[in-house]
Chains A and B, each alone.
Chain A
Amino acid sequence: MNCLTKKIRIMLFAGLKEAAGNDYLEADWKMGQTAEELKKNVMLQYPKLQGWVSRSRLAGNKEFLPDSALVCPDIELALIPPVSGG
């Protein structure tokens, strides 16, 4: 492995967690990848989760990431499906 790519973990919750059968998934991070690109990557890697991932927002270090944000591989990443608290 070189420093331009890396395996990363993304936390999952609620229906997405159940759909995946796990509370995280592994994805391939590439240098220069934006949040939107990472989501697209995950959808390609996990076609069965495509609908879930497309509706979920990516969070990095507990903050929602804009689509254009560059993803740093060493932060805490999570996919946030539509929320329903209250």
Chain B
Amino acid sequence: MVDVMVELTESTIDTDLVLKSVISPECGAALLFVGSTRQWTDQLETSFLEYDAYRSMALLEMQKLVEEAKERWGVKEVRVVHRLGRVEIGEVSIAIAVSSPHRAEAFEAGQWLIDEFKQRVPIWKKEHWKTAGEQWIHPLTSNDCRSDSADGNEVAHGNRNQFVNNSLSLDHTKINNLVKPLSSSDALDSSETKLGS
């Protein structure tokens, strides 16, 4: 079981399969979180995303997340799959499935898993904008954008500070006018944007 709890793949993620893999007779609750490529980030249109990873470390970090979630919430089964390479609009980039005897633990663990994933797992996305070139996404300070819970939409449209790759001296380059570029999961975007706001 251990070797199939986490996975990196270049292929389409079969989300049904991910969900089914955690369902067991001991569990009355199973939930699935899916992150997919969003087309519009305010006025900016995404053409597609590209994901890169430090694969061996990413798998280890994902494994640790699964073990921590099981320990903290007593959830029974956890499966985390992330896609790498090119991901088209509307396609799934991440799927996290959690099962537990009762639903509360599954919800809490699921929220924690995707939040922690976004802080700790060495995977990076590159936005290929339709009209604005391409851009690696690096939230300004990983640790600072940690959030204990989703904050709803009020911060989702704040500036999202980040630095980009098109200049060697980009350390002071922040794209303050790019509002909330990127990622797949709305719940997470709101916690990330907290940093910049």
Residues of A within 8 A of B (CB): 11, 13-15, 18-19, 48-52, 54-55, 57, 59, 62-64, 78, 80-86
Contacts and interface: CB of A to CB of B under 8 A. Distances in A.
Nearest to A53: B171
Interface of B: 35, 51-54, 56-58, 60, 82, 93-94, 114, 117-126, 136-142, 162-165, 167-172, 182-185, 188
B165 A19 contact: yes
Contacts of A59: 54, 57, 122
Contacts of B117: 85-86
A13 B184 contact: no
B134 to A, nearest CB: 10
A78 B137 CA distance: 18
Given A13-B54, A85-B117, A80 B170 contact: no
Contacts of A50: 171
Contact of B123 (A11, A51, A52, A83): A83
A14 B118 contact: no
B54 A11 contact: yes
